[in-house]
Chain A
Amino acid sequence: MDKQVIALKGLTKKYGTFTAVNELDLTINKGEIFGLLGPNGAGKTTTILMMMGLTEPSAGTAHVCGVNSTKNPLAVKKVVGYMPDNVGFYDNMTALENLMYIGELNGIPRSEVQKDAKAVMEMVGLPEEAIHKKTAAYSRGMKQRLGLAEVLIKKPQVVILDEPTLGIDPSGVKEFLSLILRLSREKGLTVLLSSHHLHQVQQVCDRVGIFVNGELLIEGDIASLSSRLFTGKSFEVNVTFKNPIDLPWKHETELLQFPSIREISVEAHDAWISGSEDVTPDIVRFLVEKGYPIMGVQKKEYGLEDIYQKYFENTIKENIDQ
């Protein structure tokens, strides 16, 4: 029981007739990095705000560290560090002043707050000369780091990051995520991050949940998710030819004679063949015998992107039920 840091039960939020979050049940354990994935407007931010006690749920409860967020938001805010999606600072103050202000609001005495602020800034990799700069001059990536520093200065047990990678360049994202991963492992922090950048999240998350239209469609670690989802198509091969294929493809019916091949789609130079068993050698042999100049053969692996895509495009729940 005490391993559950975040426990949501039947959490629902309605704005008029529109249901932003519907009957959400979710538990996140101590030390875990959980990725909440979903398209824009899926209700990720609303869920996070309800966890922080910043928005009242229409029904259900949210417990963080055993405290009810709706009834006792102050106790929750003491132990949770939250970085909103478009993090902003007081532009007329320097980074250090911004950070010290937040530190003081969290009850760090004035005599120690400057030392603490400098320590966390070093931790997140903000250079010494940036400390006394006004935050108006900060780049997006630096602001993001400062946001993380501000989350850490209160020495939280849980860190909630809303779209932390939004608007940073690719190398910055990689660095930022590895920073989160390292901090989480070093300090035993529980991290919840929401995102729609899938492969980034894939790198760091222990567990992900896919969230569409206010409902958590599926949750689990990435390996188990892909095996559950793509049981029907256990393999898919992409064959690239030198010359474009004339449509309709005359050999398509012959290929479909193979017992394990179920589906073939052709487009210009490429053919995608999927089936229940891996028969790549047979396909290649067949195509070579027919005299096709093959440029490449690629076997497809299912990542988070595909899992996501599957839901994103269809948003059909039936897939899970199968």
Chain B
Amino acid sequence: MKGIINALDINASVRDEKQQNPFWILVRKEIAGHIRSWRFVILLVLVVLTFWGATAVAMNNIKDTVAKVKDLETLFLYLKILTTTEGTLPPFHVFLNFLGPLLGISLGFDAINSEQQNGTLTRIMAQPIYRDNLLLSKFVSSLLLVGTLLLSLSLLMIGGGMLITGVMIEIEELIRILCFIVLCTVYVGFWLGLSILLSIVFKQASTSALTAIGVWLFFTVFYQIVVNMVVTMLTSGSGELSQLQVMHLNEMILNFLRLAPSQLYADATTTLLMPSVRSLGPVTMEQMAGAIPSPLSIRDSLMIVWPQLTGLIAATLLCFAFSYYLFMRREIRT
């Protein structure tokens, strides 16, 4: 009885002092740990260099690009800075298509197993915090870092662009760029969720890193080949294809490709950053007839992107839910 009363007393005194939620203490420690680590410094240098390179190339060619635009209403200078290339370097959002997984994987591949290997997991779990808080803090802290990194880079780009060109940014552009950042963060979040899941499944950090990189390589390199092969195999016997069948086939390939997160990301970023993109699939002449060749409004672009975004979020949640399920009943002893 005395024990219960004592425990209640302690609870009460804790509440009195308005102490911080343990979750945010965990997040703070995780962020501090990341920022001080060499790993993050290297990633930071990598991301900043690519961003700088891509933007510098775009800046050099911006004059030509702007000259081509007839209607000043549809200039979208800042979106052009993000997407213009001369062919030597891909634009930043394409870079992020493979830098994003790298970011996510390297921030998460040793989240749980390194703690277990070092014997810190048991110690942390013996403190009065919920088990899922630890998992969530790993995820949230890395996402916060990535989000902040991308946001500050984009803001730097906008500020630099204003200084150099003297053109004010439009609200629509700003919203599109912010949506782009959210999308990138979600994309990195998917890979982060996957690598945290693998860090729970595998006891060795190197195994989980290799597996995550394997999954990434599969999706970026082999998945397209496999899908194309399977689809051609299925249709090779049927001889000549009518136009409708070809359309149907194309649609099918695209839908299969969209199971890969990188494809979802590529679709979504292109739509967001290039307002002139009207559709992500093939469009028939009938559909094109009567369409006014003008950029889409932000609302329409978002409508097109929406399935891609929810797909990415769903995949992330799936990874996270599965890691939660595994971690909650896991034996934590080393």
- Residue numbers of A with Cβ under 8 A of B are 1-2, 5, 45, 49, 52, 54-56, 64-67, 74-75, 77-82, 84, 86-93, 101-102, 104-110, 147, 150, 154, 157
Contacts and interface: CB of A to CB of B under 8 A. Distances in A.
A147 to B, nearest CB: 8
Contact of A157 (B6, B19, B25): B6
Contact of A2 (B3, B22, B118, B333): B3
A65 B33 contact: no
B1 A88 contact: no
A305 B124 CA distance: 35
A88 B332 CA distance: 14
Nearest to A111: B17
25 contacts: A1-B1, A5-B3, A64-B3, A66-B1, A67-B4, A74-B129, A75-B11, A77-B127, A77-B128, A78-B10, A78-B11, A79-B10, A80-B126, A82-B123, A84-B123, A84-B334, A105-B22, A105-B25, A105-B127, A105-B128, A106-B127, A107-B22, A147-B123, A150-B123, A157-B3
Nearest to B120: A88
B37 interface: yes
Sort chain B's interface into a size bin. Answer: 35 or more
Given A54-B126, A105-B129, A157-B6, 10 more contacts: A55-B331, A56-B329, A75-B11, A78-B128, A84-B334, A89-B120, A105-B26, A107-B14, A108-B19, A109-B17
A284 B2 CA distance: 60
A29 to B, nearest CB: 12
Given A49-B333, A55-B331, A65 B6 contact: yes
A73 to B, nearest CB: 9
Given A86-B334, A104-B20, A107-B17, A2 B1 contact: yes
Main secondary structure, interface of B, reads helix
Contacts of B314: none
Contacts of A67: 3-4, 7
Contacts of A1: 1
A77 B332 CA distance: 15
Contacts of A106: 127-128
Interface string B294-334: 00000000000000000000000000000000000101111
A117 B4 CA distance: 27
A55 B333 CA distance: 9
A91 B118 contact: yes
A88 B117 CA distance: 9
